[in-house]
């Protein structure tokens, strides 16, 4: 190897080393949100007796957020109590593209305002582009309080 | 050269640039080849207005929305916002024009593959920026725009969940989402675009544009193209100086479009904000107008197609555009001998325009509405019919059905505009058990016999309401 070839090789290696030392930590930093999202986050929705049997009611739950955040810290959900012993908590996101569903008490349907998705009271698709039924949160009752696991639906919902 | 000019030349080296760039001769082109210059000017407007908007913007969910209202209240704040908004919208329009024109003339053909590939990268970056930009407004339209984007990423097989977390900045939409979108919009995006635009322009200077003379004859090899390109530049009639002749032509188009941006900014002003971002209130979100074609397209998708379309469509578009110059090796440029390319461009242009129009008239979906429809002048309703009118609203019929043009167009038929009139018996049956494939809930078991009778009585009368286009 000549001196000049050696110099070329060293310049290439030097450039690659600088790129790696700067680029890899930056890349790892940007991937931080992928870590540790699996543990359940249970949130109280309200007293179970506050939700009438047979009805659908809108409710909101606090989201996990940094201490200093004040806005966008609540999320709307729909609670359906088909019978006294059963309760369903729906994500408000349409399963097509995440638009916010509206409960229509007269027609007893969930209407999507974006592309015409319609869901029945039991969350099954009735019309429009959605393919899947409405998403349901994991629920549990603790001391008469209805609770949901926020992490039981996908992160985009 | 004067002493002073010599001094300046020795220190700033202007002449080599002037000789090789401004004084060079280029093949003659029609006026609409100014679309590239137009995009450059619009990019310049965005790059100029952006930093000044960021002087007042606070990228946190607590303050983003308020800070935009604050920018709007500052002297000429509304105008800088309006310029940024309208330049962005027209940039998307011009981008589609530029892309389709290149397919039309065969601008991606050898040896311009590199120019094309960089252009394809910029195409996707600009489209991304056009969504990121209005996400920063942090109103309801912003958060649901972000959600729609996330739902696209979530559909990608295997890595969908990771992509969603990466883009959203965590398992919930919140402060880390906004900071990411902000960083992408004001740092990563502009840096990438400026670098790529510079490279793109450098290659345009190296290879020239697909001039008229190149479209007259078949060109089989890169060498042949280079020789022809060289000959065109030397030809006194087929070429012209870049400055001022060619630049004046493309500059005229760029300035015209810039004039449109300024006119829109003055007439329609800045984009009004929707209610502040929240995930609780009822909202009727819609995309910005330059995405309307896409929104209409997905509204028409059947459910079996929709879920995979969201990642297959962008990916296919990317792969097809990247592969295009390597797949199409025919010796012809221009549209005359390239019927498929010409057809694709015409169909794409028609599709973009008609889907956009369709979206503006979109009758998709319903919206909860318990207000009874008005009775047209001159109609006296019998008591039973009047009770039916109130029940009609109470059972949510007005959420989806217009009555004689009253209310915005919704998914259901306007009862005064039904193609065939139904009898009482048919209506009863329809309401209790709508036919398969009709987006209407069955009311069987929910309505008493007398309620049903009253609603049917009202619908029978409503069918005869005047079908005025303006409504009652």
Q: Is residue B33 classed exposed, middle or buried when 0-12, 13-18 and 19+ CB atoms within 10 A define those classes?
A: buried
Residues of A in contact with B439 (CB under 8 A): 116, 118, 126-128
pLDDT of residue B469: 54
Q: Give A45-114 as a DSSP string.
A: EEEGGGS-TT-EEEEEEEPP--TT--SS-EEEEEEEEEETTEEEEEESB-TTT-PBPEEETTTTEEE-TT
Residues sharing a CB contact under 8 Å with residue B245, sequence separation 6 or more, in sequence order: none
Per-residue confidence band for A25, with pLDDT thresholds at 50, 70 and 90: very high
pLDDT of residue B468: 60
Task: Provide the 3-class DSSP secondary structure of residue B320.
Answer: helix
Are the Cβ atoms of A69 and B395 closer than 8 angstroms?
no
- The secondary structure of residue B24, as a DSSP letter, is -
| Range from A125-129, A153-157, B334-338, B418-422 carrying the lowest mean pLDDT | B418-422
- The secondary structure of residue B373, as a DSSP letter, is P
How does pLDDT run along chain B (472 residues), one tens digit per residue? 789 999 999 999 989 999 999 999 999 999 999 999 999 999 999 999 999 999 999 999 999 999 999 999 999 999 999 999 999 999 999 999 999 999 999 999 999 999 999 999 999 999 999 999 999 999 999 999 999 999 999 999 999 999 999 999 999 899 999 999 999 999 999 999 999 999 999 999 999 999 888 898 999 999 999 999 999 999 999 999 999 999 999 999 999 999 999 999 999 999 999 999 999 999 999 999 999 999 999 998 888 898 899 999 999 999 999 999 999 999 999 999 999 999 999 999 999 999 999 998 877 888 999 999 999 988 899 999 999 999 999 999 999 999 988 888 888 888 888 877 888 999 999 999 999 888 899 999 999 999 999 999 999 999 889 876 544 4
Residues sharing a CB contact under 8 Å with residue B136, sequence separation 6 or more, in sequence order: B57, B59, B64, B68, B142, B178, B181, B182, B185
pLDDT of residue B212: 85
pLDDT of residue B472: 40
pLDDT of residue A144: 92
CB B300 within 8 A of CB B91: no
List the structure tokens of B301.
């998708």
Are the Cβ atoms of B172 and A63 closer than 8 angstroms?
yes
- The secondary structure of residue B272, as a DSSP letter, is P
Query: How far is the C-alpha of A63 from the C-alpha of A105, rounded, in Å?
Result: 26
With b meaning 16 or more CB within 10 Å and e meaning fewer, what string describes B408-419?
Answer: eebbbebbbeee
CB B130 within 8 A of CB B68: no
Residues of A in contact with B176 (CB under 8 A): 33
Alpha helices, H only, B169-302: 175-183, 189-207, 222-234, 247-267, 292-299
Kindly state whether A117 is in contact with chain B, defined as any CB-CB distance less than 8 angstroms. Answer: yes
Strand partners, B403: B406
For the beta sheet containing A109-111, the strands, ordered from the edge strand earlier in sequence to the opposite edge, are A102-104, A109-111, A118-120, A125-127
Provide the number of CB pairs (under 8 Å) joining chain A to chain B: 196
Query: How close is the nearest chain A Cα to the Cα of B86, in Å?
Result: 24
Distance of CA B24 to the CA centre of its chain: 37
Kindly state whether A55 is in contact with chain B, defined as any CB-CB distance less than 8 angstroms. Answer: no
A34's enclosing H/E stretch is none
Least CB-CB distance to B165: which of A37, A126, A130? A37
List the structure tokens of B231.
């000959």
Query: How far is the C-alpha of B322 from the C-alpha of B309, rounded, in Å?
Result: 19
Q: What is the mean pLDDT of residues A63-78?
A: 85
A 94-113 → B contacts, CB under 8 A: 96-100, 102-109, 111-113
Query: How close is the nearest chain B Cα to the Cα of A144, in Å?
Result: 24
> What pTM does this model have?
0.94
Query: How far is the C-alpha of A76 from the C-alpha of A93, rounded, in Å?
Result: 9
Query: How far is the C-alpha of B123 from the C-alpha of B145, rounded, in Å?
Result: 19
Residue A38 in this model has a pLDDT that exceeds 80: no
Pairing of strands A109-111, A118-120: antiparallel
Q: Is B167 left (phi over 0), alpha (psi -120 to 50) or beta?
A: alpha
pLDDT of residue A100: 96
Are the Cβ atoms of B307 and A131 closer than 8 angstroms?
yes
């Amino acid at each position: 190897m000549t001196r000049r070839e050696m110099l070329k090789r060293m310049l290439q290696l030097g450039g690659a080393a600088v790129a790696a030392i700067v680029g890899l930590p930056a890349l790892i930093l940007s991937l931080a949100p992928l870590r540790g999202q699996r543990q359940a986050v249970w949130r109280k929705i309200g007293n179970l007796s506050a939700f009438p049997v047979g009805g659908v009611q809108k409710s909101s739950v606090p989201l996990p957020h940094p201490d200093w955040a004040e806005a966008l810290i609540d999320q709307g959900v729909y609670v359906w109590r088909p019978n006294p012993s059963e309760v369903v908590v729906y994500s408000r996101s349409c399963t097509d593209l995440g638009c916010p569903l509206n409960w229509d008490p007269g027609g007893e349907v969930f209407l999507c305002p974006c592309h015409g998705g319609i869901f029945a009271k039991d969350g099954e698709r009735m019309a429009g582009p959605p393919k899947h039924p409405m998403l349901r949160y994991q629920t549990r009752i603790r001391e008469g309080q209805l609770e949901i696991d926020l992490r039981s639906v996908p992160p985009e919902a | 050269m004067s002493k002073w000019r010599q001094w300046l030349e020795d220190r700033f080296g202007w002449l080599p640039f002037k000789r090789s760039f401004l004084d060079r001769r280029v093949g003659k082109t029609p006026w609409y080849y100014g679309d590239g210059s137009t995009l450059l000017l619009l990019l310049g407007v965005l790059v100029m207005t952006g930093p000044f908007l960021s002087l007042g913007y606070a990228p946190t969910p607590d303050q983003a929305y308020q800070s935009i209202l604050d920018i709007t209240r500052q002297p000429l704040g509304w105008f800088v916002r309006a310029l940024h908004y309208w330049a962005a919208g027209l940039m998307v329009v011009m981008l589609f024009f530029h892309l389709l024109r290149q397919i039309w003339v065969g601008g991606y053909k050898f040896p311009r593959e590199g120019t094309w590939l960089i252009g394809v990268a910029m195409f996707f970056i600009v489209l991304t920026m056009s969504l990121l930009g209005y996400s920063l407004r942090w109103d309801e339209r912003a958060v649901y725009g972000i959600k729609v984007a996330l739902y696209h990423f979530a559909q990608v097989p295997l890595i969908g969940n990771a992509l969603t977390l990466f883009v959203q900045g965590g398992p919930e939409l919140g402060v880390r989402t906004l900071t990411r979108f902000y960083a992408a919009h004001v740092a990563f995006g502009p840096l990438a675009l400026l670098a790529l635009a510079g490279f793109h322009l450098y290659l345009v200077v190296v290879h020239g544009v697909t001039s008229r003379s190149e479209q007259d004859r078949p060109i089989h090899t890169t060498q042949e193209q280079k020789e022809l390109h060289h000959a065109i530049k030397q030809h006194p009639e087929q070429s012209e100086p870049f400055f001022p002749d060619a630049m004046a032509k493309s500059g005229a188009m760029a300035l015209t479009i810039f004039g449109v941006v300024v006119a829109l900014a003055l007439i329609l002003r800045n984009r009004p904000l929707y209610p502040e971002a929240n995930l609780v209130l009822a909202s009727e979100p819609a995309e910005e107008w330059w995405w309307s074609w896409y929104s209409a397209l997905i509204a028409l998708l059947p459910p079996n197609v929709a879920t995979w379309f969201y990642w297959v469509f962008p990916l296919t578009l990317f792969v097809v555009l990247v592969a295009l110059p390597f797949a199409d090796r025919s010796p012809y440029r221009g549209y005359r001998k390239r019927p498929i390319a010409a057809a694709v461009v015409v169909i794409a242009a028609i599709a973009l325009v008609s889907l956009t129009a369709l979206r503006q008239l979109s009758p998709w979906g319903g919206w909860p509405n318990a207000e009874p429809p008005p009775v047209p002048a001159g109609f006296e309703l019998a008591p039973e019919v009047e009770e039916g009118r109130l029940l009609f609203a109470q059972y949510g019929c007005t959420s989806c059905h217009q009555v004689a043009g009253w209310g915005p167009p919704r998914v259901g038929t306007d009862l005064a505009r039904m193609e065939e009139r139904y009898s009482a018996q048919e209506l009863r049956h329809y309401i209790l058990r709508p036919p398969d494939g009709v987006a209407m809930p069955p009311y069987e078991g929910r309505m008493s016999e007398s309620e049903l009778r009253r609603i049917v009585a009202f619908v029978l009368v409503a069918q005869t309401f005047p079908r005025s286009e303006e409504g009652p």
